[in-house]
Chains A and B, each alone.
Chain A
């Protein structure tokens, strides 16, 4: 019954060692999002895909990249993790939401907690 799946749930990496987090969805939603959430802070949008169109937030560091090879999967690549990148990473999906469309929401995965040693 899982709709948005994130693997792994816990990831430990070393300072500077590239790491990839994965997200998959069974909802066939057009839009997929990646958020970073640090302790006691709001989830912060890093980027999102509208189908294959990539939309980067202006303040997302270049260290963060994303790939969406098909509708179901989306990956977050952190090229050179720093200690400040330790956080919970949340993947979410939503349907095609044009301006004026109502009733849409995001569906979140359980998150991947990243630890950087």
Chain B
């Protein structure tokens, strides 16, 4: 049973506009959430994270929002750049050190 879900397999955005990637989860015991970026032929690389005690974390062009009541998080990229084109994975961690991943969203930023 998929505990972390990314329902949009792909997203296309014009350069300079906002990209919004969404993620839903089912386990209320997750205490930490992460976004990873993955280029072809490489492993996922860490992008940004948020603790379950916060509702927003910002790092440059990247902001992650957490809505615990809705069990939903989102990643905002503003402004989007062509180099942001990649697959983005949402992940959640439980207190047992286990990480669960979504299926990924392929972002294409159109110049």
Chain A contacts of B99 at CB under 8 A?
Answer: 33, 45, 92, 106
Q: Determine how close the nearest CB of chain B comes to the CB of A41; give it in whole angstroms.
A: 6
**Total contacts A-B at CB 8 Å:** 61
Tell me whether A107 and B46 are in contact in the complex, defined as CB-CB below 8 angstroms, given that A42-B2, A42-B89, A45-B98 are known contacts: yes
Chain B contacts of A103 at CB under 8 A?
Answer: 49
The answer to whether A114 has its CB under 8 Å from any CB of chain B is no
Chain A contacts of B96 at CB under 8 A?
Answer: 55
> Which of B31, B43, B97 interacts with A94 by CB under 8 Å?
B97
Q: Determine how close the nearest CB of chain A comes to the CB of B39; give it in whole angstroms.
A: 10
* A:17-44 near B, CB below 8 Å: 31, 33, 35, 40-44
- Chain B residue nearest to A45 (CB atoms) is B98
> Which of A42, A105, A107 interacts with B102 by CB under 8 Å?
A42
Contact A40 B9 (CB under 8 A): yes
For the complex of A and B, 6 pairs with smallest distance between CB atoms: A108-B43, A99-B95, A42-B101, A105-B46, A42-B103, A43-B101
Q: A42-B104, A99-B31 are in contact. List 13 more A-B contacts (CB 8 A).
A: A4-B43, A31-B97, A40-B9, A42-B2, A42-B4, A43-B44, A48-B97, A57-B98, A92-B43, A97-B97, A99-B95, A104-B32, A110-B42
